[in-house]
């Protein structure tokens, strides 16, 4: 019956990936989950309560378990702690219990899970489980051999007071070239929404806006002309977040720059957004003429840590993504040097940005 706990545990792990069968936002993993387990062969039952927290970087998680009921005549599981690590494409878990032995597993960020327990108690073997999950509920089925008797069971745990995922999320290009985002949300425990944007399906998402609960649309005007954008939205309150919505895509039209249509009137290095950021941020520049452009990043000691761009660029607005995943938290200076190819004049701009991990 350790499988029951492996299922519960697998569920816990599995819970780290959803949106209609897949959790993409680790913060949707946090909170309290409650439910029951049932041994359908012997008719025994029990309750399950799991509280999940993570470290500040969302690289590890800790799950505090409270399980009641008598499992096949053995002592109840009682409280225990299970730890895990969020890897690139899976969750690696390690659960150790004095009665039920050791369970280790790797779960992909999918809407299904499967696993086999190890170090089973005496008389128990062939413990196998599988199930399905999303950010609101996880169900699991288990089977094992108990002293030559085939035993089967079932468990289900659900998120307590979950933040629902915003639905019907759309992105539509407007007549003036900008993009209007709209969505529907029933979350009564939500205090706001965070909108994230990527330049295309292969680039990283960055935070572009946070707006209060009760809103159902956002007009994205800080964009480049004729550019493909991908958006997603997440609901949040002071403690937790929902999973991400389904992604919505749109291509901008010809938009105004510095309140003028077409080419910018002056050189500019806009303040990066988001700021503070972790780990990526957008850097927008304006070029009224074709120019040789160098965009570099320096730390607070004046040391060069990254060269974002060093090439000849056409006039217009250009957006660059600075990824600081390998840099420590702190203040960084972003510098743009542009040399006009028309008048051979040099323009220098600098902004401060704050990386917070």
Please give the C-alpha separations between residue 53 and each of 139, 164, 238, in angstroms, as whole numbers.
21, 19, 15
Task: Say yes or no: 8 and 127 in one domain.
Answer: yes
- Alpha carbon 107 to chain centroid, angstroms: 17
Poorest-pLDDT segment among 117-121, 139-143, 215-219, 267-271? 117-121
- Main-chain dihedrals φ then ψ at residue 126, nearest 5 degrees: 55, 45
The DSSP-derived string for 270-301 is: PPPBSSSBSSEEEEEEEESS-EEEEEEEE-TT
Burial class (CB in 10 A: 0-12, 13-18, 19+), 114: middle
Percentage of the chain beyond pLDDT 70 is: 77
Task: Say yes or no: 310 and 331 in one domain.
Answer: yes
Number of domains in the chain: 3
Task: Say yes or no: 9 and 120 in one domain.
Answer: yes
45 bridge partner residues: 38
Instruction: Please give the structure tokens belonging to residue 80.
Output: 């225990």
Q: How many residues does the chain have?
A: 357
Give 307-312's long-range contacts (Cβ < 8 A, gap of 24+).
308/283, 308/334, 312/341
How confident is the model at residue 48, as a pLDDT?
Answer: 87
Task: Say yes or no: 113 and 192 in one domain.
Answer: no
CB 323 within 8 Å of CB 331: no
First to last CA, the chain: 41
Percent of the chain that is helix, strand, coil (3-state, to 5): 5, 55, 40
Q: Write the pLDDT tens digit of every residue in 83-117.
A: 777 666 566 666 666 665 555 555 545 566 666 66
Residue where a domain terminates, one of 204, 222, 254: 254
CA distance 215 to 218: 8
How confident is the model at residue 336, as a pLDDT?
Answer: 96
Task: Say yes or no: 275 and 329 in one domain.
Answer: yes
Q: Which domain holds residue 35?
A: 2-159
How confident is the model at residue 259, as a pLDDT?
Answer: 37
Task: Say yes or no: 12 and 152 in one domain.
Answer: yes
DSSP tag of 216: -
Residue where a domain terminates, one of 233, 254, 275: 254
CA distance 295 to 336: 4
The pLDDT-based confidence of 298 (bands split at 50, 70, 90) is: very high
How confident is the model at residue 30, as a pLDDT?
Answer: 85
CB 239 within 8 Å of CB 191: no
CB 351 within 8 Å of CB 272: yes
Q: What is the pTM of this model?
A: 0.60
CA distance 206 to 208: 6
β 217-220/228-236 pair status: unpaired
Task: Say yes or no: 279 and 224 in one domain.
Answer: no
CB 23 within 8 Å of CB 17: yes
Residue where a domain terminates, one of 201, 228, 254: 254
CATH of the domain at 269: 2.60.40.2550
Which residues, 6+ apart, have CB-to-CB distance to 51 below 8 Å? 31, 32, 33, 63, 64
Task: Say yes or no: 63 and 209 in one domain.
Answer: no
CATH of the domain at 228: 2.60.40.10
DSSP tag of 127: E
Q: Is the pLDDT of residue 34 over 90?
A: yes
Task: Say yes or no: 123 and 246 in one domain.
Answer: no
How confident is the model at residue 222, as a pLDDT?
Answer: 78
Task: Say yes or no: 272 and 348 in one domain.
Answer: yes
DSSP tag of 14: H
CATH of the domain at 100: 2.40.128.20
Task: Say yes or no: 125 and 194 in one domain.
Answer: no
Q: Is the pLDDT of residue 63 over 70?
A: yes
Task: Say yes or no: 171 and 155 in one domain.
Answer: no
């Amino acid at each position: 019956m350790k499988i029951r706990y492996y299922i519960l545990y697998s569920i816990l792990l599995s819970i780290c990936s959803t949106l209609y069968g897949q959790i993409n936002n680790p913060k949707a993993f946090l909170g309290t989950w409650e439910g029951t387990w049932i041994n359908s062969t012997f008719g025994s039952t029990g309750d399950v309560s799991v509280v999940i927290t993570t470290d500040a970087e969302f690289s590890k998680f800790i799950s505090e378990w409270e399980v009641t009921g008598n499992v096949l005549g053995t002592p109840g599981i009682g409280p225990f702690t299970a730890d895990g690590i969020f890897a690139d494409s899976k969750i690696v878990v390690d659960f150790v219990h004095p009665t039920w032995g050791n369970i280790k597993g790797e779960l992909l960020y999918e809407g299904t899970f499967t696993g086999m327990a190890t170090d089973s108690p005496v008389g128990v073997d062939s413990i196998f489980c599988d199930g399905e999950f999303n950010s609101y509920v996880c169900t699991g089925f288990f089977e094992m051999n108990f002293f030559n008797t085939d035993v089967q069971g079932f468990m289900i745990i659900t998120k307590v007071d979950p933040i629902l995922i915003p639905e019907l999320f759309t992105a539509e290009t407007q007549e003036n070239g900008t993009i209007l985002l709209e969505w529907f949300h029933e979350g009564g425990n939500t205090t706001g929404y965070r909108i994230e944007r990527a330049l295309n399906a292969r680039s990283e998402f960055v935070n572009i806006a946070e707006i209060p609960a009760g809103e159902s649309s956002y007009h994205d005007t800080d964009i480049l002309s004729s550019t493909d954008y991908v958006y997603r939205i997440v609901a949040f309150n002071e403690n937790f977040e929902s999973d991400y919505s389904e992604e919505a895509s749109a291509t901008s039209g010809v938009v105004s720059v510095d309140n003028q249509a077409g080419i910018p009137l002056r050189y500019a290095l806009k303040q990066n957004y988001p700021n503070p950021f972790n780990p990526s941020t957008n850097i927008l520049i304006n070029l009224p003429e074709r120019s040789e452009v160098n965009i570099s990043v320096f730390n607070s000691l004046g040391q060069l840590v990254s060269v974002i761009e060093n090439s000849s660029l056409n006039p217009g607005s250009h957006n660059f993504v600075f990824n600081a995943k390998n840099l420590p938290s702190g203040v960084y200076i972003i510098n743009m040097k542009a040399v006009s190819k028309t008048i051979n004049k040099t323009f220098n701009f600098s902004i401060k940005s704050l990386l917070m991990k």
